Amino acid sequence: MAFFETHNISISFGGLRALERVSFEVNKGEVFSIIGPNGAGKTTIFNCINRYYNLDEGAFIFKDKNIAKVSPHVVADLGISRTFQNIELFKNATVIDNLLLGRHRHRRSNLFMEALFSPSVQRQEIESREKAEEVIDFLDLQAYRDQFVSGLPYGVQKTVELGRALAMEPELLLLDEPSSGMNMEEMEDLSFWITDIKEELGISFLLVEHNMRLVKEISDRVLALNFGVVIAQGTPNEVLGHPEVMKAYLGEEGASTAG
Amino acid sequence: MRFLMKRNYNQDIQLFKYRSTFFWYLALIIGCCLLPLVLDDYITSQLSFICMYSIATVGLMLLTGYTGQISMGHAAFFGIGAYTSAILTSKGVPFLLALPTAGLLAGFIGIFIGLPALRLSGLYLAIATMGFGFIVDEVLVRWESLTNGNMGMMVDPVSIGPLTFETEVQFYYLTLVVLVLTILAAKNILRSPTGRAMIAIRDSEVAAQAMGISMAKYKTMAFAISAFFTGVAGSLYGHKLTFINPESFTILVSIEFLAMIIIGGLGSLHGAVYGAAFIIFLPQLIIMTKDYMPKYLADQTGLESALYGLMIMLFILFEPMGIYGIWRKKKFYFEMFPLYKKDTFKKEKKYFKAERH
Ligand SMILES: Nc1ncnc2c1ncn2[C@@H]1O[C@H](COP(=O)(O)OP(=O)(O)OP(=O)(O)O)[C@@H](O)[C@H]1O
Ligand SMILES: [Mg+2]
């Protein structure tokens, strides 16, 4: 069995079929990318995995467990973390606090111990901070460490979001258009980080991305989606060169490559 | 601005970032202890009220200011605390046991009041919690065998072992100690995973869930913690008044609590205390200024209430970050002098004015 499997998932909003019997598998330690024009249903897949939406049919199997019916927070508890297309940070908290929130699933303290700030809570806090500092070093966020997130530039916020997801020490990381709004330099960093995380930590990625250069550079396999239907699946070269995919992107070719 | 060289993580999790901060708080507490020596009994009793209200508003601040869940039913927890403690002590249970029990019972009921918060937010949650307040009020009136209904009940004075707390000064010290413990506990929770989870829920429920934070668990927990502190405050309040009836715990009290935390500054524990102090001292200030007003104005009936309302309105209009906001700006001004820029807090102010809760 594969590490993460999606079995024939479908969902509709009113009359709109947003996803129609979509299936794919992500193997341990690979970068699996989902591409497709605007409104294809890419973000919807993520929202279904996170249990923000209820599937009409189908299942997600993560490490041999069906997670299509669990509560949203359980998905994260099991080791799936994500970033959001339109940045969902804790805006009135500092960068370090955002990263520490990523550590939530590793907590061992209870409310009573916390109210007393007992030695075990102190040890746990120090541990969390060590992890958070590692992430800060890795993503070069030292300069922003104690700043409030709301005032940071867009690209930095995107990086903080990636950092928060990393601080969770997940096994599967879902990234929704991580490069949007980033400049050239930030994008190159991102490409480097993803490859590095994959190789060093063995974390698997499910990536939604509009920038085809990035997709080609870092993906092991690619899936193309259009109007909620899978139109191609395979290696980056196969999928990006697929006639159906070219057709789906035609007309917005300019927008997507410039993206 | 100060820069701090940190050498280990222990420094990072300290309660006080700077050593000087610790001494300032120590000085503050010593100052609070010395106050009754120079003040008369009346003012001292007002200080007791500030402490008791502050305990309640610290509770509400955790819920509304930090978790982003509004409650218009906190008077009910206040009342549950007061009645629990009054009834228990009348049956001979020692105060030292009755006080936490009052908090725990309020907290336990808080769990159930938190349940609607899983489905409701903003104004709808406000109305739902208000409904809860009405129910509790009604129960206090109708359950005559226990509460003596509208007739109200006498509350025994407080004693802990050989110590009695019958004079204003003694009672003030009691409330001060409980307040300090409350603030310490709240501060500890806020710098631990639970507190951060609460802040996460306030800022983005979607992202909080993606971090593994259970809405069901942490929203009900926030209600329970909040209700606990408010119940403890209620217990003290009952013993202070020595007589309670359901009238003391109406929706007006809930609204007063909300006014306190908003005026004090949402999202800060300082604010909870400042707000309580402001709302309690405001009427006194108004009465004092009456002497300086033209006679025809000073003699108007309802002047106090009108001024009281007006002050609150002006405050929210011009200082949405509350008293704590003013304090921070002043502090920042001196730390940054002469580099202070007027626009520094503009963005924050705009954010606070925008509707979030
Ligand atoms: N909660 C919702 N209610 C109604 N319709 C929705 C909802 N979420 C998504 N949709 C619809 O489902 C379709 C797929 O949306 P989705 O956000 O998944 O697209 P996407 O592939 O991520 O596009 P983009 O590249 O613009 O991010 C769109 O037509 C969208 O309008
Ligand atoms: Mg999308």
pLDDT digit string (tens) for A61-102? 999 999 999 999 999 999 999 999 999 999 889 999 999 999
Distances (CA, A) of B200 to A1, A130, B191: 35, 21, 13
By three-state DSSP, how is residue B5 classified?
Answer: coil
Q: Do A36 and A98 belong together in one domain?
A: no
Helix (H) or strand (E) holding B306: helix B303-318
Q: Do A254 and A184 belong together in one domain?
A: yes
> Can you tell me the mean pLDDT for B144-157?
84
Q: How far is A148 from chain B (nearest CA, A)?
A: 11
Q: Other CB atoms closer than 10 Å to residue B30's CB: what's the count?
A: 10
Is the model's pLDDT at A237 over the cut of 70?
yes
Nearest CA to ligand 1 atom 5: A13
CA nearest A69: which of A44, A83, A48, A84? A48
Closest CB to A117 among B192, B196, B351: B192
By three-state DSSP, how is residue A50 classified?
Answer: coil
HSE (side-chain half, CA atoms, 13 Å) at B8: 3
Report whether A163 contacts B211 (CB < 8 A): no
- The tokens describing B305, both together, are 């209430």
- Listing DSSP states for A110-127 in one string gives -HHHHHHT-HHHHHHHHH
Question: Residue B352: its pLDDT value, please?
Answer: 52
CB of A13 shorter than 6 A to ligand 1 = yes
Q: Mean pLDDT in chain B?
A: 85
Chain B residue at shortest CA distance from A91: B203
CA–centroid distance, B117 to ligand 2, in Å, is 29
Could you give the number of structural domains in chain B?
Answer: 1
Within-domain flag for B3? no
CA nearest A49: which of A18, A9, A12, A85? A9
Residues B72, B73, B74, B75, Cα dihedral to 10°? 110
B210 CB neighbours in chain A (<8 A) are 50, 72, 75-76, 81-82, 84, 88
What is the CA A237 to chain-centroid distance, rounded?
A: 23
Decide the pairing of beta strands A172-176 and A80-82: parallel
Within-domain flag for B235? yes
> In angstroms, rounded to a whole number, what is the distance separating the alpha carbons of residues A193 and A215?
14
Chain B residue at shortest CA distance from A78: B212
Lowest-pLDDT range, A117-121, A133-137, B248-252, B329-333? Answer: B329-333
Report whether B192 contacts B183 (CB < 8 A): no
Within-domain flag for B6? no
Strand partners, A32: A206, A221
- The tokens describing A100, both together, are 């520490």
The CATH number of residue A224's host domain is 3.40.50.300
CB of A42 shorter than 6 A to ligand 1 = yes
> Can you tell me the mean pLDDT for A153-159?
91
> Can you tell me the mean pLDDT for A37-51?
93
Within-domain flag for A99? yes
Q: Do A181 and A55 belong together in one domain?
A: yes
pLDDT digit string (tens) for B323-333? 777 766 666 66
The torsion angles phi and psi of B146, rounded to 5 degrees, stand at -100, -45
Within-domain flag for B151? yes
Tell me, what DSSP letter sits at residue B338? T
Higher-pLDDT residue of B250 and B305 is B250
Q: Do A109 and A183 belong together in one domain?
A: no
> In angstroms, rounded to a whole number, what is the distance separating the alpha carbons of residues A238 and A233?
8
Within-domain flag for B12? no
Within-domain flag for B34? no
The CATH number of residue B64's host domain is 1.10.3470
Domain of A104 in residue numbering reads as 90-166
CA–centroid distance, A134 to ligand 1, in Å, is 35
Report whether A88 contacts B210 (CB < 8 A): yes
Q: ipTM of this predicted complex?
A: 0.89
Question: Considering only residues 4 to 63 of chain B, which have any Cβ-Cβ distance to chain A shorter than 8 Å?
Answer: 9-10, 12-13, 15
What is the CA B94 to chain-centroid distance, rounded?
A: 26
The identity of residue A159, as a single letter, is T
Strand residues in chain B grouped as ranges (E): 153-154, 159-160, 163-164, 243-244
Interior CA angle at B78 toward B141 and B221, to 5°? 120
HSE (side-chain half, CA atoms, 13 Å) at B251: 12
Within-domain flag for A43? yes
Mutation target to probe the B interface, by most B beta carbons within 10 A, among A109, A117, A127, A174 is A117
Q: Do A121 and A61 belong together in one domain?
A: no
Domain of B216 in residue numbering reads as 39-355
Q: Do A157 and A229 belong together in one domain?
A: no
What is the pTM (predicted TM-score) of this model? 0.88
Is the model's pLDDT at B354 over the cut of 80?
no
Q: Do A162 and A194 belong together in one domain?
A: no
CA–centroid distance, A45 to ligand 1, in Å, is 9
Ligand 1 atom closest to residue A41's alpha carbon, by position in its atom list: 18
Name the domain boundary from A145, A166, A187. Answer: A166
Chain A residue at shortest CA distance from B193: A104
Q: Do A4 and A129 belong together in one domain?
A: no
CA nearest B233: which of B262, B247, B254? B254
Q: Do A175 and A160 belong together in one domain?
A: no
Decide the pairing of beta strands A31-35 and A221-226: parallel
